[in-house]
Chain A
Amino acid sequence: MSPSLNPWILDSGATHHITGNKDFFSSSITTSGYLPSIITTNGSETQSTGIGTVKVLPSLSITSVLYVPGAPFNLISLSQLICSHDCIVTFTKVNVTLLDRISRRQVGVGCESNGLYYLVNPSKACPATNSPLTIHAQLGHPSLLKFQRLVPSLSKLSELHCELCQLGKHTRSHFPDRVNKRASSLFALVHSDVWGPSRHISTLDSKYFVTFIDDFSRCTWLFLMKNRSELFSIFQ
């Protein structure tokens, strides 16, 4: 892979920004003056041949980038970056964000890939760094239709499995399975419920029925009622 295609790697182990691609430089490279030499991990020393400014993102340009011909990677030195831009860098498992320390505005974002944090272009960054669910949450859990209107790049998404959306529709939590234990003897506890009125009046002119269930034996007694007030005489 040619260095020009390589994205910028955020590197805390580098003291200077380094690139091997001349095309990155927005202004002309200064070749005179002090040019530090680079010591690579195997101890060998490479001389940088120029220094200049690179616009790594539309919103972020870094100064004093060393040009090292043949360098396979484009490295952003974190110490240099933090020093020159006064920003907060937050690393998470999947991505990295660069925030301006004072204004708290996002300067840049990056994503993790194969153990390295790469800086990504924000115009493409949103869908790449954030999962659909994260964007969905950030937008205040809109419906799938509205969500796809807002984020056209996700218009192919067929469904959103947002558990929180489902929970939000629940008005109350589930009822505990069993409040108390079963009765230990016959008729210690009797459950009762009146059902009705029925839409159809029965042949015996009843519209209601009452059930009495013995908790121990689960035997059910059922009585048809014409009127709710009959309950007492039945119970007697």
Chain B
Amino acid sequence: MSIRSLRSDNAKEYLSHQFQNFMSSNGILHQTSCAHTPQQNGVAKRKTRHLIETIRTLLLRSNVPFRYWGDAVLMACYLINRMPSSVLGNQVPHSVLFLIPLYTHFHPVCLGPHVLFKIFLLVLTKGLSLLLSYSSTIPHVS
């Protein structure tokens, strides 16, 4: 399954020759917004805002320095993908995509995102792989 169309703003990196050639060779339609109209890329912008707000909350709640935002944003993305979305009629994006039920590896009782995040940092400081910590191994730590 491949992407049929991509919607983005007019950022230089999307308009590079390399990128455009790749798009046309793969038959992907590129829809760019009008100049100075970020609203036309609203879905992506809104998601970015959601992510930024989530990571700010995560970092503040866990008293973690802001240089860990990169880890927090991956974490936030992981969580948001598994949260019910009102656009989908409160279905979960992850299960819509992969057609598998979710919440199998979320701890049912007390594992708030900030706890997950601290566990994640713990894993990180112990030198484990970054991406590993987002997989289903997290619940076993708890």
Identify the A interface with B (CB < 8 A).
175, 179, 182, 186-195, 198-204, 206, 209, 211, 213-222, 224, 228-229, 231-232, 235-236
Contacts and interface: CB of A to CB of B under 8 A. Distances in A.
B66 A220 contact: no
Interface string B1-31: 1111111110111101011001000000001
17 contacts: A175-B39, A179-B40, A187-B1, A187-B3, A191-B7, A191-B43, A195-B48, A201-B67, A202-B70, A211-B48, A211-B51, A218-B87, A219-B93, A219-B94, A219-B96, A221-B77, A229-B13
Given A189-B5, A191-B8, A218-B87, A200 B43 contact: no
Contacts of A211: 44, 47-48, 51, 77
B119 interface: no
B35 interface: no
Contact of A186 (B65, B87, B97): B97
B51 A188 contact: no
A181 to B, nearest CB: 12
B51 A224 contact: no
A200 B67 contact: yes
B5 A188 contact: yes
B97 A213 contact: no
Given A191-B7, A195-B52, A232-B22, A202 B68 contact: yes
Given A213-B43, A216-B96, A232-B18, A193 B71 contact: no
A235 to B, nearest CB: 7
B53 to A, nearest CB: 12
Contact of A190 (B6, B18, B52): B6
Contacts of A187: 1-4
B85 interface: yes
B57 interface: no
Given A193-B47, A216-B96, A220-B80, 17 more contacts: A189-B4, A193-B41, A193-B45, A202-B68, A203-B70, A204-B71, A213-B44, A215-B7, A218-B87, A218-B93, A219-B81, A219-B97, A220-B47, A220-B81, A221-B77, A222-B73, A232-B22
A222 B77 contact: yes
B123 interface: no
Contacts of B43: 191, 213, 215
B100 interface: no
Contact of B44 (A191, A202, A229, A232): A191
A222 B51 contact: yes
A32 B42 CA distance: 87
B74 interface: yes
Contacts of B11: 194, 228
Contacts of A231: 13-14, 19
In the A-B complex, the 3 residue pairs with the smallest Cβ-Cβ separation, listed nearest first, are A202-B70, A193-B44, A222-B77
Contacts of B69: 198, 200, 202
B88 interface: yes
B26 to A, nearest CB: 9
